Structure 1
Amino acid sequence: MLGISVYAGLGISLEENIKYLEEAKKLGIENVFLSLHIPEVNNNFLDEIRELLLAIKRLNLNLTADISKKYFEKIELNKFNFDALRLDFGFTNQEIAELSQNIDYKINLNASTLKESDLKSIIAAAGNLENIEASHNYYPREETGLSEKLLVKKNNIFKKYGLDIAAFVPAKYKKRPPIKAGLPTIEKHRFLTPLVAAQDLLKLGIDKVYIGDSRASKEELIDFSAVTRDIFIIPIKINEEISQEEKRLLRLTHKNRQDPGEYLIRSETARKNIKKRIKPVNNNKRFKYSVTIDNHKYQRYEGDLNILKKEYPADKKINIVADAGKAAVIIEKIKEGDKFKFKIKGDD
């Protein structure tokens, strides 16, 4: 479900790339995306590619390699174990159909640009759909990433034919040269963390999510590796004045009520688990995506925890305990009955 990307000949040494692969493997990340055709690479590109392919095989990672027709004929692919080969450009629908019939690895198609008519053409040419999957592009230039609406539209086409779909999220630590502006599939993810953007993609129907950039930091990679389909992980910055009881409630795993308010994510967990009295503090105007906990002045509602999806006025019965604004895109996707937990900034 989760993966990283590695690039040869682009300013990161072979040794650092291999270390990155090893770190990802230790964290349970099993998928790797490797590009075999980048215009800006150095002269050691093919030698480094061969070493990376050997390291990926040694670590037993699942490999999707991105290739153009030009490099398809340069690299002896039969010497390496690929799980999927992404055909970027230069291949006809007839060639795609033939490759899907005759090889031991899957053919991965460009989900961002392929039309349904192309799929029908591949099928008409006896393409083997069981050996075909798809992945979206990443977009190095700012302002050029897909809209959420277009991504979902494209996904619906591929899902109709039963194909798995992959997409990319950016990292902040070492962005890929030469533009160094992040490698997201969706434009609104460009300045988000891998943790948040990955969860958003999964909720949009993506089956496999890769960090697109050259290197994620250790913290980014650890956070990314914790992503699951079952529980939303919401990063928050807590108010320094909150009590230990409020912090304890924040650290619980929560479940959104089946009947949350129209503009609330409302935990059915927190109030049931309150142990100590909560005093009024930080009773300011409640901003959008603030996390609040009701204090003892709200009587039987004491301990009620909410994430707000709109602004509300100040209320002496309600404490503002944290800011969840950096997770806005996933907060908007939490439905009734969904589970969620908070990642408190500064916590291990």
Structure 2
Amino acid sequence: MTKRSLGISLYPDHSNLDDDKRYLVQANRYGFTRIFMSMLEVSEGKEKVAKKFSDLIGFAKDLGFSTTLDIAPNIFDQLGISYDDLDFFAELGADAIRLDQGFDGQKEALLSYNPQNLNIELNMSNDVAYLDNILSYSANQPFIYGCHNFYPQRGTGLPLDFFISASKRFKNHGIETAAFITSQVGNIGPWDINDGLPTLEMHRDLPIEVQAKHLFATNLVDCVIIGNAYASEDELKKLSEINRYQLVFNVELSEDINQVEREILLDNQHVRRGDITDLVIRSTEVRKKYKHNDNPVSQSSHDFKRGDIVIGNDNFGKYKNELQVVLQDHTDERKNKVAQISQTELFLLDYVGPWNKFKFRR
């Protein structure tokens, strides 16, 4: 099982080398470790391109980044090289190359044994038996990675159900996976159209950290990469602060929350009970820990909506101080509303299953 990571994208054909290096230093400071680097053209000539890319990749490597080169098929013709000899990319310092186009399966399997030991990254955004075909030719599986596409044109990103189905094909084989999220300020991408660069269409206008939380919560993505450049420092910071292994919901506290409720909410590891219900997500261990703490009935409304967080008050008997996240609207005087999950994160409640761990932050 691979540890989860964060990545950025660079487009040296469309950007300034010094700006790219500044971005790398900043991303490194916030714990990013992977680069998706686009090599779309070599119009400047092989030597000049090689120098530019090797300089940038070498700089990144010294900071601890691994680099995947995204190579358009026409590059091979322009460079006068073939897929049978990957020396050029190894000499640039790349760790992986991404195959933008598929072959017959046998070809990819053979490529995975390349003497340069480059990882071969496959396109995950096709829900077909592409990977199974490659593996059936006895591919060198540890050197095969998966990465989704991104979609610069609004309305063309993947729908969620298709994304899940396509991703499972790779995850079921234990292949390391990646997908893209989009910065809301970055304006550099591979093409002249840039309405953001997410994998999932539903992410296009969401805050960047919510996109990442969602991808990690699916348990289908190991590396989350910002598709466009350059993300703001604030976006990098927010991504660095997310928990990659459990959902941590951003909440707004109720005005009349008391000290015990605040502690129950913010200072505890919450676990959804295994015997789940449709009405609420129940975190029951806290009620044992706080069973001797009083919790008076609050004066505010006891009509609850989806995303409200409630805690049992003194009138709730043995369920006093149990924390619940409301899934379906209901009314109950025995519970106090203590907080509310932010509107943009409500859809993430679908990813809290039996025994799943979760936390809250304000």
Q: Identify whether the pair has TM-score above 0.5, normalized to the shorter chain.
A: yes
Distance 1:233 1:74, change over 3 A: farther
Q: How many percent of aligned residue pairs carry the same amino acid?
A: 27
Q: Give the Cα–Cα distance (whole angstroms) in 2 for the partners of residues 285 and 28 of structure 1.
A: 42
Q: Give the Cα–Cα distance (whole angstroms) in 1 for the partners of residues 131 and 29 of structure 2.
A: 39
Normalization by structure 1: what TM-score?
0.83
Are the counterparts in 2 of residues 283 and 318 from structure 1 also a CA contact under 8 Å? Answer: no
Q: Deviations over 1:145-168 (max 9, x none)?
A: 212221222223334544222111
Q: Give the Cα–Cα distance (whole angstroms) in 2 for the partners of residues 246 and 173 of structure 1.
A: 38
Are the counterparts in 2 of residues 291 and 321 from structure 1 also a CA contact under 8 Å? Answer: yes
- The offset of 1:94, in angstroms, is 5.6
Q: Give the Cα–Cα distance (whole angstroms) in 2 for the partners of residues 334 and 118 of structure 1.
A: 29
Distance 1:182 1:247, change over 3 A: farther
Q: Give the Cα–Cα distance (whole angstroms) in 2 for the partners of residues 295 and 176 of structure 1.
A: 52
1:308 to 326, 329, 332: 326
Deviates more, 1:142-151 or 1:297-306: 297-306
Deviates more, 1:252-261 or 1:333-342: 252-261
2:275 to 225, 249, 259: 259
Q: Secondary structure at the match of 1:270?
A: helix
Alignment partner of 1:183 is 2:200: no
Alignment partner of 1:107 is 2:120: yes
- The offset of 1:138, in angstroms, is 1.1
Distance 1:269 1:219, change over 3 A: farther
Alignment partner, residue 82 of structure 2 = none
Q: Give the Cα–Cα distance (whole angstroms) in 2 for the partners of residues 277 and 114 of structure 1.
A: 52
Deviates more, 1:3-12 or 1:17-26: 3-12
Alignment partner of 1:200 is 2:214: yes
Q: Give the Cα–Cα distance (whole angstroms) in 2 for the partners of residues 6 and 338 of structure 1.
A: 32
Aligned residues: 337
Alignment partner of 1:222 is 2:237: yes
- Structural mapping, 1:13-162, within 5 Å: 13-37=16-40, 46=49, 49-72=53-76, 76-89=88-101, 95-102=107-114, 103-113=116-126, 115-117=128-130, 119-120=132-133, 123-124=136-137, 127-162=139-174
Are the counterparts in 2 of residues 236 and 326 from structure 1 also a CA contact under 8 Å? Answer: no
Are the counterparts in 2 of residues 294 and 305 from structure 1 also a CA contact under 8 Å? Answer: yes
Distance 1:279 1:113, change over 3 A: same
Q: Which amino acid aligns with 1:245?
A: V
Are the counterparts in 2 of residues 246 and 278 from structure 1 also a CA contact under 8 Å? Answer: no
Normalization by structure 2: what TM-score?
0.80
Deviates more, 1:322-331 or 1:83-92: 83-92
Distance 1:291 1:57, change over 3 A: same
Distance 1:281 1:149, change over 3 A: same
Alignment partner, residue 212 of structure 1 = 227
1:328 to 346, 353, 357: 346
Distance 1:72 1:224, change over 3 A: farther
Are the counterparts in 2 of residues 280 and 297 from structure 1 also a CA contact under 8 Å? Answer: no
Q: Give the Cα–Cα distance (whole angstroms) in 2 for the partners of residues 176 and 319 of structure 1.
A: 48
- The offset of 1:61, in angstroms, is 1.0
Distance 1:343 1:33, change over 3 A: farther
Q: Secondary structure at the match of 2:56?
A: helix
Distance 1:244 1:216, change over 3 A: farther
Q: Deviations over 1:171-219 (max 9, x none)?
A: 3243545544332212222233333332332324222221223233334
Alignment partner of 1:6 is 2:9: yes
Distance 1:29 1:312, change over 3 A: same
- The offset of 1:332, in angstroms, is 0.9
